[in-house]
Every structure is written in structure tokens, then in C-alpha cells.
Amino acid sequence: MAELTRTDIEDILKLIDGSDFDHLKLEMGELKLELRRRGSAPAMTAPPVPAPAPVSAPVTVAAPVTASGGGAEIPAPLLGTFWHAPRPGAEPFVKPGDVVTAETVVGIIEVMKLMNSIPAGIAGTVLEVVAPNGELVEHGQTLIRIQPA
């Protein structure tokens, strides 16, 4: 089976932009691609299977949680721009003092104009939003600290 090229992905994105759809899930063999418009509610799914093509897509990314002296840290699962809210001017997904579940979306990482929802991965209370809004984050960089429930 032929792999999707960057042009193929861009064509798919143009089709989505011109449609009324908020969500597209495409599976071709081992390739699984899930696209979602910014701000649409994420579906809680198992972590995605790595695609053979080097393409980032807005998927629900299960963030690993690491322990720290000041609570649990939610690290960035990929490199990109971290956003605190679904769109400019909107309320942030979470703020210090908020109680979250493992499925609660705590932010979005934008990669090549594609939005990746980041779930907390652990239940607890938000202690601190570490990563600045709109700033580039590295893979593994702490985004948020949570006091586990």
C-alpha cells in the first residue's frame, strides 16, 4: 500500500476545511490518521499507532506522567507550540486548583497547524501550569504539575 504524502495530507485538510465535518478518522492498513478541527471535543481513544508516514495529526495523545517532589508532572508527548485554551480569548483548559481526571484535556500542542489534545493522564488537582501559553515545548518538557488524588 502506498504511503500518504504531505501533499495528500494537505489535500485532505483542505477538504475538511471546506466541509461541515469536525472530525475525520482514516484507517488504511497500519496507517491510522485522525483529524479534528480546533475546539471540537476530543474523543477519548487508546494511544494512536505510529503511522509509517512522517505526518503529525491532531490526535488524542496519552501523556505519560512522571513523579516529582512537588506532585506529578505531565510532560509534552511531542515537540510543538503549547496552547492553554482551545482558541484565542477562550478560558484555559485548566488552571491551578482545578480537579482533573485522567481523561481531562489540559492543553493542546500545535504541530504544523494540526492540534494535538493532551489529556492529564492522572486524576488529581492542578498545582501549576508550567509551560507558557503559545511557547514552543520540547518532547518531555513539563507542561503541568498535578497533585495526584
What confidence tens digit (pLDDT) does each residue in 57-97 have?
Answer: 444 444 455 555 568 999 999 889 999 999 888 999 999 99
Task: Choose among 8, 62, 66: nearest CA to 33.
Answer: 8
What confidence tens digit (pLDDT) does each residue in 119-135 have?
Answer: 999 999 999 999 999 99
**CATH class of residue range 66-148:** mainly beta
pLDDT, residue 67, reads: 57
**What residues does each domain of the chain span?**
66-148
- Return the number of other C-beta atoms located less than 10 Å from residue 48's C-beta: 15
Q: Which amino acid is at 8?
A: D
User: How many residues are given for the chain?
Assistant: 149
Q: Are strands 105-111 and 99-100 parallel, antiparallel or unpaired?
A: unpaired
For the record, the C-alpha cell of 131 comes out as: 509551560
Q: Which amino acid is at 113?
A: K
What confidence tens digit (pLDDT) does each residue in 86-95 have?
Answer: 988 899 999 9
